[in-house]
Chains A and B, each alone.
Chain A
Amino acid sequence: MNKKNLKHILSIMVDNEPGVLARVVGLFSGRGYNIESLSVSEVDSHKFLSRITVVTSGTKIIVDQIKAQLAKLIPVHNLVDITELKSFIGKELILIKLDVKNKKTFDLKKKLERLSAKILEENDLEIIVQFTGSPNEVKKIENILQPYKIIEQTRSGLVSMATGTDYIKK
């Protein structure tokens, strides 16, 4: 039996009704499961469906139990363990505000361009950078920008999708 703690990305299609996120999150906290990241938004405004992406970790037994418990929630239509599929894409978005008061920004902007990070806001005081990428790429950007004075940053949860025909049904 697989005893290793592995990361799993669960994509959950749910009825977009009040309290649905509380049900999912409450299940994790109530049963002592781990949430590493979470993102949720409506994806079908006709059928009122939302898609929740949860990154969790655990042994196979625990992750199987998490999936079975999630599947039991009444508003859950379908769920897929994306990490178990052949190949998938996972992306995050990060916004970073840098203090550039009295600083030269030429090198910084060159760097950002090479990394295909976007500058959303630029003035004498600050630069706001947007970057989208895999969790590792996002971490890399954070490291590269460490030498600059970071005022604040915010990061979305992971959103993920399988390639090919392994799509999540509604």
Chain B
Amino acid sequence: MKKITGAEIVIQTLIEEKVDVIFGYPGGAVLPIYDELFKQKKIRHILVRHEQAAVHAAEGYARSTGRIGVVLVTSGPGATNTVTGLADAMMDSVPLVCISGQVPTHMIGNDAFQEADIVGITRPCTKHNYLVKDVNILPNVIHSAFFIAKNGRPGPVLVDIPKDIQTFKAVYKGKKNTKVISYYKPNLKPNINQIDQFIKLLENSEKPIFYVGGGVINSGEVASKNLFKLIKSTGFPCTQTLMGLGAYPTSDNQCVGMLGMHGTYEANMSMYNCDLMICVGARFDDRITGKVSGFSPKSKKVHFDIDASSFNKSVNVDLTVQGDLARILQAINKKIEEKKISFKKAKIKDWWIQINKWRSKDCLKFKNSDKIIKPQHALKRLDFLTKKYNPFITTEVGQHQMWAAQFLTFNKPKHWMTSGGLGTMGYGLPAAMGVQIAHPNSLVIDVAGEASILMNIQEMSTIKQFRLPVKIFILNNQYMGMVRQWQELLHGNRLSESYMDSLPDFVKLAESFGATGLRTEKPSEIDDLIKEMIKVKGPVICDVIVDPSENCFPMIPSGSTHNQMLLGPNDKVEGEISEDGMVLV
């Protein structure tokens, strides 16, 4: 068989993995791969302006399609710039393959120019990583990387390829004839006995709640469909995590909204008072639980997850079922049908009466104004005016992110891309690029804050180059709003470094990149601005000047429990926030 170079192998294996787009930035140690990229037409390369953005763009691509995002960067700084993105993908379980160039094998360890031990650096923030020292196993490594990224709980995999390996020759026999060199075999099939135990709990519960996370979205559409069927057949309420929004339609009446630190009153009160908590693909993250010792004290807890290490990590549960959520939910639905179990609405009638009482508090209400734009109002109008386009929403991190989660509607999975676990400011703009590449004709909106957007603003140049019609909706309050909110709450209103001085003129900034800039500070103009934003064919930056003092409510102050929520600015924390609470992030 004909021998081809390592660089050719990289391209061939990517083509066999059905990769159609990669996000990257060239440099000395990946030039042979870029040369091969130049010679072919099957893979499109999106040149970003910073390697962190390449990873976020690949995340946006992956999360909006369910496919694997691919990144290509050079050694040293190119590779280290990907670290934040890889850590983000690790926390939010996004399947990625990141290929980095490395100095030639004989130079490794020599402190060569643009050398960094990227395998060492990324070991804790990738699902797995490889340094390839033999060109003959390069095909196996790349196919293994794709296998590992997607199977089990998804995550990022890095493949570090020294420059000499890219030029050495080896035989590539195609994917079918290339062995995956990993023992990794995640179990997907649930244990049926555990499903039976779960059905019993389901039948006996009077105050149940489904607590749904991003795992459902990762598992795929079958999981979402089965979840919908199960929730509908039981008549139980359902709350979603930040990552789970869209796994179950948020406009459905059985959905009680997002839970957690900025979740709805009804969701958190239901979690606190339930007698059966059914966690589907979520991980009892600290933003969700609040103070663990006071977390849902009266409930039996059931946890479905593909990742066994998520069980009993922060909260002890009574029943765990490990496996692919699509299969678990399917098995449950099948059992319910087989046993002809019908869930009597009467049994949980009182529970719904209670939930509706909590709902009637209307915890997301805010005092609107005709003088100054309330950020919540801006998002409500954005939701109303864009709903019919079924938009893809990305966000940065902070108050605007929480408001977007609270006020936008998510009726389909894979339409909501936000940095949940790592909380990476600067995520939204590059992620929106990746989404737009995958869905060129869809409306893609990055809901941003004026602070976050500046963290990857250089990507306007990428947007210009690839004519990506991304819409950037900045809620500009001239503060790092969430930082300020915490300083108000916990640090005596001493606003240390949280004011954004010297902001750019976002309209001119947009124009300098060939985009459209729109700006308003009048509530009466917000609808026109949004309509104009949708109408413009190309990229748009909307600079929406909002009330600088608005805070994000409801809120569970750190160190508190679900039943100790602050519902508005006039709510005071009962007593002092404890020292334990103060040290929490």
Interface, chain A (partner B; CB < 8 A)? 1, 15, 18-19, 22-23, 26-27, 30, 61, 64-65, 68-69, 71-72, 74-75, 77
Contact = CB atoms under 8 A, between A and B. Distances in A.
A68 B308 contact: yes
Interface string B117-136: 00110011001100100000
B357 interface: no
B182 A74 contact: yes
Contacts of A74: 127-128, 148, 182-184
A75 B183 contact: yes
Contact of A72 (B124, B182, B183, B309): B309
B92 interface: no
A61 to B, nearest CB: 6
B308 A22 contact: no
B131 A26 contact: no
Contacts of B313: 65
A18 B131 contact: yes
Given A19-B120, A72-B309, A77-B183, 18 more contacts: A19-B119, A19-B131, A22-B120, A22-B123, A23-B123, A26-B124, A27-B124, A30-B124, A61-B312, A61-B316, A65-B309, A65-B312, A68-B308, A68-B309, A68-B311, A72-B307, A74-B128, A74-B148
A77 B183 CA distance: 6
Interface of B: 119-120, 123-124, 127-128, 131, 148, 182-184, 307-309, 311-313, 316
B462 to A, nearest CB: 33
B95 to A, nearest CB: 14
Nearest to A77: B183
Contacts of B309: 65, 68-69, 71-72
Contacts of A64: 312
11 contacts: A19-B119, A22-B120, A22-B123, A30-B124, A61-B312, A65-B309, A69-B309, A71-B309, A72-B308, A74-B127, A74-B182
Contacts of B124: 26-27, 30
B79 to A, nearest CB: 16
Contacts of B148: 74
Contacts of A75: 183
Kindly list the 4 A-B residue pairs having the minimum CB-CB distance in the complex, ordered from nearest. A68-B309, A74-B128, A68-B308, A30-B124
A68 B123 CA distance: 18
A64 B313 CA distance: 9
Residue among A27, A65, A71, A72 with max Cβ neighbours from chain B (10 Å): A72
Contacts of A72: 307-309
A107 to B, nearest CB: 51
A18 B120 CA distance: 11
A15 B128 CA distance: 13
Given A74-B148, A74-B182, A74-B184, A19 B123 contact: yes
Contacts of B311: 68
B127 to A, nearest CB: 7
Residue among B119, B128, B183, B307 with max Cβ neighbours from chain A (10 Å): B183
Contacts of A71: 308-309
Contacts of B184: 74
Nearest to A64: B312
Contacts of A68: 308-309, 311
A18 B543 CA distance: 51
A77 B181 CA distance: 12
A77 B123 CA distance: 18
